[in-house]
Structure 1
Amino acid sequence: MAQYIPILRHYCGNLPLVSGTYGSSECYFGINLRPLCDPSEVAYTVMPNMGYFEFLPVDDDDDKAAGDGEAASRKLVDLARVEDGREYELVITTYAGLNRYRVGDVLRVAGFHNAAPQFQVVRRKNVLLSIELDKTDEAELQRAVERASALLRPRGASVAEYTSHACTRRIPGHYVIYWELLVTGAAVDKETLDGCCLEMEEALSIVYRQSRVVDGSIGPLEIRVVRPGTFEELMDDAISRGASINQYKVPRCTTLPRIVELLDSRVVSSHFSPALPAAALDTGAAF
């Protein structure tokens, strides 16, 4: 939920932003023992009496080998054996009868309270953009959006909501980022939005930038600005199809044709990165 912090600060002013608990419909997991800390520093202490918690180490090689089922269960670590600084996928067994349920959250051990591990929520599992060898996950995409949206602030604008899509209709494929803007001043000019595309590219991984600059296997990143209210329509569509309004979250990456069609029908302007990411030019020379 880190993407909502700037919007909350905009509307709340100097009021503290408190994230007290961490949980889901399946189970409550933990509490924040420092509720007045900065949102970027929030860590949750797992409450072992809420369920039985196990952790699947997150590693690309482990992910390929483990998959799910018996192979994954052999790699599980219990709460008392997690290691500081490592990332894990949360697996729970609940009193209600869920057995080794993979929640889909990736957590990082951020220290201990006495002997109890404290976790920061890093990202959702398997939420990523990919054209070729690149893999851009939710956390990396969020950082890129934050970096690019800094260019909007002098113009009195910010990113209210966003999602993304790996467009492979043409070769080379490219990233498409849908932005709904919150504008308090004059309209944001095309040059600024084009610059946002380039700024996002420079914030992405070295694998992305190599594919973009050296290999030419990824095309220029595109930002499609959608009209105000588009993401509310997206939520209404999901709820009409059975999603819970209390649990709905904007998908940060989508492949569903009907969602892409809805977003494309609301586009008011389209912008492409005007140049190769500068940060990759030096990298390319090394290959």
Structure 2
Amino acid sequence: MGNWPFKSRSCSGPLILRHVSWARGGRAAAMLLAVGLVVGLALLLWAWRCCLGSAGSWTAKAGPRQPWGLVLWHRLVLWVLGLAVDLQRQHLEQVSKDGQQSQERLLLELLEGAGAAAPDLATFRKHYPLAQPGSDGAEPPASPAPRPGSWALLWSCFAAGSLLQGPVLYLDVLGRAYPEALSPRGTARFSWARSCALPAAAWPLPTLYCTPEGAGTVPSRAVALYLQLLFALRERALRALEAGLASELYDALDILRASWEGLAQDLARGRLSAQLELPEGTRHQLEGLLVPDTARAAELRAECARGWDGIARRLWPRLQVVVAAEPSGEQLYGEALRASVCQGLPFYCPFYGAAGALLGMNLWPEQPDSRYLLCPGWAFCEFLPVGPGAEGPPEAVLLAELREGQEYELVLTAKAGPLRCRVGEVLKVAGFHNHCPMVGPVRRLSQTLSVRGEGVPEERFYRSLRRAVAMWPGARLVDYVCAESGLLGASSGACAPHYQVFVELRGVRDLSEAQRYKLDQCLQEDFPVYRTFRFKGSIGPVRLHLVAAGAFRELRDTASPPGPMARVLRERRPLHFIQSRVIS
């Protein structure tokens, strides 16, 4: 049901496009038919508003409706989006061939305030100074796309370079790789946002989701994930699990582990637990969507009693894919999901973004390692070479100058900002599609441990930590964070600067001092500079602390706004929170 109503007849590669028949009749005929499409789509959107209400609230109206009505509407919207897909793919294919020209057009737009008549790079760099990491304005303000109204939605689906170009292409890529993933109400969404819990993909296709919007906008993140899990459990025929971050899906399925009896009771009664703290209006609205389902509640109890490995596919037998972002710092959650509750399911991360800007798309969901085509028409980017061969003061290069295999620090320039902003994200060029790079995020510079300039990046620290945990019999790493001792102030004592590491483990209750010292030994073996400082005594030994079960989920619940997990804490408030959960 969920696949596109029509597909390209010729598809020798992921971006090879067919020319739609109306384009052959000439530009005038194309424009005439485009006007007809606009009028027809306007009528469709008018019907959408009348029948389903505003985008995202369709669930509240869908209950009394016959199932065929929902399916018919869903396929109709898919057909409309299918028309837009060909145009958007054609546009993306063209700009990926002329990436430098697209960047020059953006550069000229940025220089309008400087009175430049041509995309002059020297004038741009003089007008927009390069911000140093950590300076004011060093990260452009996040600017989430505004939620479009009916006419804006209609136009954006077809307009080149629009806010909805990424979501429309994402739906196409997902539907091609997993044909049933676009079934009506076939996707469960796990995410928390107080203002709007709908992802961008829901704007053109809200009937894709079985989780009501109100479930993601409640005041508490933990309650939001519980509610979204409850509505997901109602739909046995789910095809996809989707989350803004891997940690959100991880925490939602951890709630399943901890609260499955309460979830089963809510399913059987068709009512929400009185223990959930909810605004009265929200509770009334959500309970109006529930009906008692004792059979599904019994199935949930039986599957949870069998254990947790592979439970996602046992609860939802038709599940095809997990869609979740795994930025730096979220690797641990993706690994834990693949190893246990989501065993056997492919994972797909569709977008790459930084500092609130959407920068690239993953058009190859079948690849095990996510790679993203940098879309040159979406943001003006520069790149500072890092790593081997990048000694000396960094000199920014442009998109056309990138080299395969090289790592670069990303620099973005926002039209609203006065600076070229170093966002602290390091990318590696994995290859090229046409003339545009395919990149993968490597690390966040802000997540580097360094008390004497030794520079231990987060992804390499994680490898050392996993190696140490493997030396602790029976232990399994659940979560961790680090902090530099200087953040503790006088409470860190009079010893040399050192790392404070907080871990949550399963399988062990405590560790001996010799076992804790294994982490320091692994760091010395993996980082010669660190070993030198330890030998001199200018860096003290790692101090390792065990925290109570669930401490890190509570930490994420208190984060505002929610974002990728910080592995190196830079603020005292989260550090004091996790210190208060230390048990050993």
- For Structure 1 versus Structure 2, the TM-score category normalised by the shorter chain is 0.7 to 0.9
- Quote the residue 1:176 is aligned against: 500
What CA distance in whole angstroms lies between the structure 2 residues aligned with 1:133 and 1:192? 27
Answer yes or no: is 1:27 the counterpart of 2:363: no
Superposition pairs for residues 104-119 of structure 1, below 5 Å? 104-119=424-439
Superposition pairs for residues 80-95 of structure 1, below 5 Å? 80-94=400-414
Superposition pairs for residues 121-140 of structure 1, below 5 Å? 121-140=441-460
Change (3 A) 1:200 1:259: farther
Cα deviation for residue 25 of structure 1 reads 5.8
Per-residue CA deviations over 1:57-81 (Å, capped at 9, x if unaligned) read 2269979846xxxxxxxx2211111
Residue from 186, 192, 204 that aligns with 2:526: 204
Q: Which amino acid aligns with 2:553?
A: E
- Quote the residue 1:277 is aligned against: none
What CA distance in whole angstroms lies between the structure 2 residues aligned with 1:34 and 1:86? 21
3-state DSSP class of the match of 1:200?
A: helix
Among all aligned residue pairs of Structure 1 and Structure 2, give the percentage whose two residues are the same amino acid: 34
- Quote the residue 1:218 is aligned against: 539
What CA distance in whole angstroms lies between the structure 1 residues aligned with 2:527 and 2:520? 13
Residue from 482, 486, 506 that aligns with 1:164: 482
Cα deviation for residue 90 of structure 1 reads 1.2
Cα deviation for residue 35 of structure 1 reads 1.5
Answer yes or no: is 1:244 the counterpart of 2:543: no
- Quote the residue 1:8 is aligned against: 337
Superposition pairs for residues 33-44 of structure 1, below 5 Å? 33-38=363-368, 41-44=369-372
Change (3 A) 1:93 1:63: farther
Structure 1 regions of 5+ residues with no counterpart? 67-74, 270-287
What CA distance in whole angstroms lies between the structure 1 residues aligned with 2:422 and 2:410? 6
Cα deviation for residue 195 of structure 1 reads 5.9
Residue from 236, 242, 257 that aligns with 2:572: 257
- Quote the residue 1:267 is aligned against: 582
Answer yes or no: is 1:55 the counterpart of 2:366: no
Cα deviation for residue 112 of structure 1 reads 1.7
3-state DSSP class of the match of 2:540?
A: coil
What CA distance in whole angstroms lies between the structure 1 residues aligned with 2:386 and 2:354? 21
- Quote the residue 1:71 is aligned against: none
Is the Cα–Cα contact under 8 Å of residues 147 and 199 in structure 1 kept in the other structure? no
Is the Cα–Cα contact under 8 Å of residues 201 and 221 in structure 1 kept in the other structure? no
Change (3 A) 1:50 1:192: farther
What is the alpha-carbon root mean square deviation over aligned residues? 2.8
Larger Rg: 2
- Quote the residue 2:465 is aligned against: 145
Change (3 A) 1:231 1:203: farther
Answer yes or no: is 1:97 the counterpart of 2:440: no
Per-residue CA deviations over 1:190-209 (Å, capped at 9, x if unaligned) read 37842642453245311001
Per-residue CA deviations over 1:170-207 (Å, capped at 9, x if unaligned) read 322221111122x2x46465378426424532453110
Cα deviation for residue 3 of structure 1 reads 2.4
Q: Which is strand-richer, 1 or 2?
A: 1
Is the Cα–Cα contact under 8 Å of residues 497 and 538 in structure 2 kept in the other structure? yes
What CA distance in whole angstroms lies between the structure 2 residues aligned with 1:20 and 1:197? 35
Change (3 A) 1:45 1:139: same
Cα deviation for residue 259 of structure 1 reads 2.6
What CA distance in whole angstroms lies between the structure 1 residues aligned with 2:354 and 2:538? 39
3-state DSSP class of the match of 1:7?
A: helix
Change (3 A) 1:22 1:218: same
Is the Cα–Cα contact under 8 Å of residues 465 and 519 in structure 2 kept in the other structure? no
3-state DSSP class of the match of 2:567?
A: coil
Q: Which amino acid aligns with 2:496?
A: P
Cα deviation for residue 161 of structure 1 reads 1.8
| Aligned residue pairs, count | 247
Change (3 A) 1:133 1:48: closer
Is the Cα–Cα contact under 8 Å of residues 147 and 203 in structure 1 kept in the other structure? no
Is the Cα–Cα contact under 8 Å of residues 144 and 199 in structure 1 kept in the other structure? no
Q: Which is helix-richer, 1 or 2?
A: 2
Cα deviation for residue 105 of structure 1 reads 0.8
Structure 2 regions of 5+ residues with no counterpart? 1-329, 487-491
In the superposition, the TM-score normalised over structure 2's length comes to 0.39
3-state DSSP class of the match of 1:89?
A: strand
Cα deviation for residue 114 of structure 1 reads 2.9
Q: Which amino acid aligns with 1:166?
A: E
What CA distance in whole angstroms lies between the structure 1 residues aligned with 2:553 and 2:512? 25
Change (3 A) 1:131 1:93: closer
Cα deviation for residue 150 of structure 1 reads 3.1
3-state DSSP class of the match of 2:427?
A: strand
What CA distance in whole angstroms lies between the structure 1 residues aligned with 2:462 and 2:397? 29
Q: Which amino acid aligns with 2:416?
A: G
What CA distance in whole angstroms lies between the structure 2 residues aligned with 1:158 and 1:172? 30
3-state DSSP class of the match of 2:408?
A: strand
What CA distance in whole angstroms lies between the structure 1 residues aligned with 2:456 and 2:380? 31
- Quote the residue 2:199 is aligned against: none
- Quote the residue 1:280 is aligned against: none
